[in-house]
């Protein structure tokens, strides 16, 4: 087990895990931590807790010290100055005629570096822009090109579900998402319905994918010939979540009936040869029409 605390650097932003060492900060405290950008001041959103080793990053950054009044005052001043820096950089980008979209501006705690994050369709020659900005801010300037998913993560917003973006709340890393997942889950392949605000496939498609893969594996596909309590027929429709199969019987009057997955024995055909069906919940009944 490893002791960690959760620290957030921006209001409503993502919380990151750090090693508290001998310190015991509480939620609401401010701490100075070691990050890839150097020392940063952040707010503790969750105090010391013990978690399994496998659930934390391999290189857990340490908490350097509890933040004092100077650190907190500098953090608030940086947040105000970042807004001004963003406006100035946006104006200079237009002046230089660069095809790039500015996303965010960040000062390091010691103000030794000012970072600008931007998106662009291709490579951008921003050397003249960097020189221009360095003359304005008199500090080290760094421009970082990010992807559209990173942009959504940094800016935040509401998804089609009405909840704040998963990437800006709890996702540490972007999971691979493919159009195959939408097909497996029986979703519309209309890009506007399965894409997030970033324009990429929604990250949440990956959440239930293992369950859908299992259910599709044990459910006879459309076209499968199955044996039911009422005879042998062909599957014409499935609902893998409820475990229901609509079966057509070849009789003088074509009849369609619904059966539970556990009532049907796979014989042949269809898209896949399923394994033995899983047990159905007690009390579940099929529907006929």
For residues 199 and 188, what is the distance between their CA atoms, to the nearest angstrom? Answer: 16
Q: Supply the pTM of this predicted model.
A: 0.69
pLDDT bucket at 126, cuts 50 / 70 / 90:
very high
Letter string b/e over residues 261-274, b meaning 16 or more CB atoms within 10 A of that residue's CB: bebbebeeebeeeb
Residues 6+ apart with CB under 8 A from 26: 44, 47
C-alpha–C-alpha distance, residues 178 and 186, integer Å: 13
Task: Give the C-alpha separation, 283 to 215, whole Å.
Answer: 20
Which residue blocks in the chain are alpha helix, DSSP H? 69-96, 127-137, 148-155, 166-169, 179-184, 191-194, 209-218
The domain made up of 74-146 has a fold known as GMP Synthetase; Chain A, domain 3 (3.30.300)
Q: What is the DSSP letter of 263?
A: G
pLDDT digits 0-9 by tens, 31-58: 999 888 788 899 998 888 888 877 777 7
Tokens 């221009």 map to which residue?
A: 132
C-alpha to C-alpha distance for 129 and 176, rounded to whole angstroms: 34
Instruction: Render pLDDT for 76-101 as a digit per residue (tens, 0 to 9).
Output: 999 899 999 999 999 999 999 999 99
Where do the domains of the chain lie? 2-67, 74-146, 151-206, 212-289
User: What is the pLDDT of the chain when averaged over all its residues?
Assistant: 85
């Amino acid at each position: 087990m490893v002791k960690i605390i959760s620290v957030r650097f921006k209001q409503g932003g993502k919380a990151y895990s750090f090693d508290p060492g001998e310190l015991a900060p509480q939620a609401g405290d401010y701490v100075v931590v070691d990050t890839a950008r150097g020392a940063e001041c952040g707010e503790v959103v969750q105090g010391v807790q013990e978690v399994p080793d496998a659930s934390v990053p391999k290189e857990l950054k340490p908490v350097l010290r509890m933040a004092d009044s100077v650190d907190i005052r500098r953090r608030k001043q940086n947040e105000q100055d970042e807004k001004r820096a963003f406006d100035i950089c946006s104006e200079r980008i237009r002046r230089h005629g660069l095809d790039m979209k500015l996303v965010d501006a960040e000062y390091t705690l010691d103000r030794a570096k000012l970072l600008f994050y931007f998106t662009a369709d291709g490579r951008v020659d921003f050397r003249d822009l960097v020189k221009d900005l360095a003359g304005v801010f008199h500090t080290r300037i760094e421009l970082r090109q990010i992807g559209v998913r990173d942009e959504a993560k940094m800016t935040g917003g509401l998804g089609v579900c009405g909840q704040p973006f998963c990437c800006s709340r709890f996702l540490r890393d972007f999971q691979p998402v493919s159009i195959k997942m939408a097909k497996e889950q029986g979703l519309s392949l209309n890009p506007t319905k399965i894409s997030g605000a970033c324009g990429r496939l929604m990250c949440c498609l990956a959440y239930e994918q293992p369950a859908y893969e299992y259910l599709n594996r044990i459910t006879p596909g459309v076209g499968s010939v199955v044996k039911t309590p009422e005879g042998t027929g062909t599957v014409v429709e499935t609902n893998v979540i409820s475990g229901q199969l609509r079966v057509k019987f070849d009789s003088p009057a074509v009849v369609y009936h619904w059966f539970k997955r556990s009532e049907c024995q796979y014989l042949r055909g269809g898209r896949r040869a399923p394994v033995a069906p899983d047990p159905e919940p007690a009390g579940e009944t099929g529907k006929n029409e």
